[in-house]
Amino acid sequence: MISRRDLMKWGAVVPALVGGSARAMAAVPEGLDALVVDSRHAPGVIANPGGVRVLRFDGDVTQLWFETLDPLWRKPGFVLGGITGRDALFVLETLSWDRGRRVVSRKDMPGRSGRMDGPISWVIAPVHPSVKKG
Amino acid sequence: MAVLPPDLDAANFARFLEELRGAVGADWVWSSEDDLGPYRDSFSPVWNQAEERHASAAVAPADVEQVQAIVRIAGRYKVPLFPISTGKNFGYGGPSPNVTGSVVLDLKRMNRVLEVDDKRHFALVEPGVSYFDLYRHIKDKGLKVMIDCPDPGWGSPIGNSLERGIGYTMPQFRDHFGASCGMEVVLPNGEVMRTGMGALPGSQSWQEYKYGFGPDPSGLFAQGNFGIVTKMGFRLMPLPEYYRTGLITVPRRRDFVKLVEHVNYLSDSSLIGEAVYGSPLAALMGDKAFYALATRQGGPSDAEMDAAASKAGLPSWQVDLQFFGPEAATRENWEYAKQRILADIPGAKAIDGDHFPLPATEEQLLNTTQPYKTGIRRYGALGVPSLGIWRIVSGNGHVGFFPVLPRSGEAVFEMQRAMCDGLREFPLAGRFFNATTAPLYWHSYAFQMVFAPSVKHDDPALNAEVHAAMKKAVAVAAEHGWGDYRAAPIYQDDVADTYSFNNHALRRFHEQLKDAIDPDGIVAPGRGGIWPRRFRK
């Protein structure tokens, strides 16, 4: 299982990265292996915050998933954070189920209008014994 | 929401789950609410309503022997199983079962590409193989075949073809069940059966001659509940050397009748791939006066629509044509199509489109080089799986009603009018059925139209309207001889009920078969509107 402590850390850190917060970048916890950034919603994230690999896409997750995530998700481990539109999260969450993973943290973020219709920050982590590390 | 299988108490359900764990391993049986979340239909218009169907558990076998063991255990406890391949049948129920309390038999672990032959042009796969998996296998091995995949491409060839799903290339491959050849099935008694040449020990032509000898039961397993398909063969198109597109426009509304006849000829002669029809006048639907005209009770006259087209400087209809084959053949076929249509329809115009050798580059797949606005989604058209279509899905997805109609312009006009009038009480319907609505040419020898309104989990009033509109759409279409081709479990009885010739002789025949093969309803009772005796009480 993912620990509650990790969940709280990831849930707080991932959205803070959107604004390029130095404090958030310094606080990226160990175990978050990469951060998916949907350029439509979060253009401001700098490269490799806190040493975490950033994977960008423009709303169509096909290439990202086919070239990068699918091969990684077939192996144990790999905790993925993300700031994406709901459509992209729906696709990635659905695909993650096939590989023993779940969205373990999910947080709505304010949209440009200030209303809660913006992107979602999330963490997808391995939960099934076949893909959990150790 | 914890549920139990029909007629089973908690103690026996616990014993049943324990037996499943013994058969497949404890890690591959799920029954907690959290674990069953992925087996809900996230596109459901009855989300969180009493009508929503819930699984009681899910089990994922690793091989055919484990499928047999699960079926036998389920038979002893009389627990319905609901087999899914990858569970991506969104818009048609996703992975959710017909009967609440069913156990989802998730075949995702059976994911081997068993064979791809690029000299004899076929593949043999297991149910957990997705179109992406098959595409990756072909690409990695450099095989000279092209798949025909739906859009999005995350489903499985077996699941999609058993739902009679479609693709976007040449006619003989677009009908995915039609392009299947040979299957292995675990029957409701746990026995393994192979169809066609697969029934002949030592045969090497299982994926080349689908019939074998005697009756071919393979059709019973599509949208049916007579067994669990564990292997299936598919014919593949040899990778074409070249791809070419061209656009034909016609000026007047009534020109569509002749246009369709010409395109039917080109398609049935195997000269073109999927023809993508459209009406440039759809761009005017944002104008209130035009919207009112295009959705008017009884439909607009040809003269009124022609006047609107003339005023806007737009043709009434267009069709995107696609050609596959050697470069010279694609060029000559396009020249022939142009000559044939332009000589017969006054005012028709042709525009040369893109053309290039295959496989396509990424830029060509993105379709940025077409010299006109096109309705072709290039990934699907060239057999490359994609997830990009999800960018256009709003809310929490949509439901889908796709009535089948004849391939004629008159039938298109009649469906536009009848469905628009019949669904007038639902304001959302006008966007789907109006005088600019074009037919889909997905299936090889029939047209369809689309009614796919969006749903939202947090808007039960909208969902209720969509649900009511779906039921009404099925009924209105049936009054005119149009039937849905595929439906979510919550609509399957409604749709099956419309196929009622001779006092429902077809359904009664299916029920007789079901009673003989699976009287307790171990395999997907209710699927396709077929209920065994146990559930007909």
Tens digit of each residue's pLDDT (9 = 90 or more) over B289-330 = 999 999 999 999 999 999 999 999 999 999 999 999 999 999
User: Is B486 in the active site?
Assistant: yes
Across the strands, what pairs with B83?
B105
Residue A116 domain-assigned (yes or no): yes
What pLDDT does B49 receive?
95
B445 is catalytic: no
Q: Is the Cβ pair A62, B386 closer than 8 Å?
A: yes
- Runs of H (alpha helix) within B367-408: 378-381
Active site residue B277: no
Q: How many Å lie between the alpha carbon of B156 and the closest alpha carbon of chain A?
A: 13
Under an 8 A CB cutoff, do A60 and B108 touch? no
Answer yes or no: is pLDDT of B379 > 50. Answer: yes
Task: Give the pLDDT of residue A24.
Answer: 43
Residues 108-127, chain B: which have Cβ within 8 Å of A?
108
Residue A66 to chain B, least CA–CA distance (Å): 8
Q: pLDDT tens, B397-455?
A: 899 999 999 999 999 999 999 999 999 999 989 899 999 999 999 999 999 999 999 99
Give the tens place of pLDDT for each residue, B242-262.
999 999 999 999 999 999 999
pLDDT at A52: 84
The ipTM assigned to this model is: 0.93
Q: Inter-chain contact A62–B136, Cβ cutoff 8 Å?
A: no
Instruction: Return d(Cα A85, Cα A60) in angstroms, integer.
Output: 10
Report which DSSP code applies to B529. Answer: G
Residue B464 pLDDT exceeds 50: yes
Q: What is the pLDDT of residues B77-121, one digit of tens each?
A: 999 999 999 999 999 999 999 999 999 999 999 999 999 999 999
The type of residue at B218 is S
Checking if the pLDDT of A2 tops 80, the result is no
The pLDDT tens digits of the residues spanning B468-520 come to 999 999 999 999 999 999 999 999 999 999 999 999 999 999 999 999 999 99
* Tokens, residue B23: 């058969």
Assigned CATH for B113-235 = 3.30.465.10
A128 CB neighbours in chain B (<8 A) are 27
Mention every residue, 6+ apart, whose C-beta is less than 8 A from residue A125: A2, A79, A80, A101, A102, A104
What residue numbers bound the domain in which A72 lies? 4-126
User: By the 8 A CB rule, do B430 and B389 touch?
Assistant: no
CB B39 within 8 A of CB B110: no
In this predicted structure, the answer to whether residue B20 has a pLDDT above a threshold of 70 is: yes
- For residue A47, the model assigns a pLDDT of 67
Query: Could you read off the pLDDT of B34-85 as tens digits, one per residue?
Result: 999 999 999 999 999 999 999 999 999 999 999 999 999 999 999 999 999 9
Pairing of strands B57-59, B29-30: antiparallel
Per-residue tokens: B105: 């038999």
B32 Cβ contact partners less than 8 Å away, ≥ 6 residues apart: none
Does residue A8 lie within any of the structural domains?
yes
Portions of chain B given CATH number 3.30.465.10 = 113-235
pLDDT of residue A27: 41
Give the contacts of B407 (CB within 8 A, at least 6 positions apart): B260, B264, B439, B441, B445, B446, B447
DSSP summary character for residue B391:
G
Residue A18 has pLDDT above 90, yes or no: no
Catalytic residue among B39, B92, B379, B491: B92
pLDDT (0 to 100) of residue A21: 46
CATH superfamily of B501-536: Vanillyl-alcohol Oxidase; Chain A, domain 4 (1.10.45.10)
Q: Mean pLDDT across chain B, nearest whole number?
A: 96
Given a cut of 80, whether residue A29 has pLDDT beyond it is no
Under CATH, to which class is B10-106 assigned?
alpha beta
Q: What's the pLDDT at A59?
A: 85
**How does pLDDT run across B336-377, given as a tens digit for each residue?**
999 999 999 999 999 999 999 999 999 999 888 888 988 899
A85 in a structural domain: yes
Per-residue pLDDT at A1 exceeds 70? no
Half-sphere exposure of B124 (CA within 13 A, CB side): 17
Site of tokens 């081709």: B485
Chain B contact set for A70 (CB, 8 A): 132
CATH number of B242-392: 3.40.462.10
Q: What type of residue sits at position B366?
A: L
Q: How large is the average pLDDT for residues B160-181?
A: 98
Q: Residue A44 domain-assigned?
A: yes
Q: Is residue A133 part of a domain?
A: no
Q: Do A95 and B136 make contact, defined as CB atoms within 8 angstroms?
A: no
pLDDT-based confidence at B388, cuts 50/70/90?
confident
Q: What is the pLDDT of residue B389?
A: 84
Residue A132 lies in a domain: no
Confidence of residue B2 (pLDDT cuts 50, 70, 90): confident
Indicate the helix (H) or strand (E) that contains B114: strand B113-117
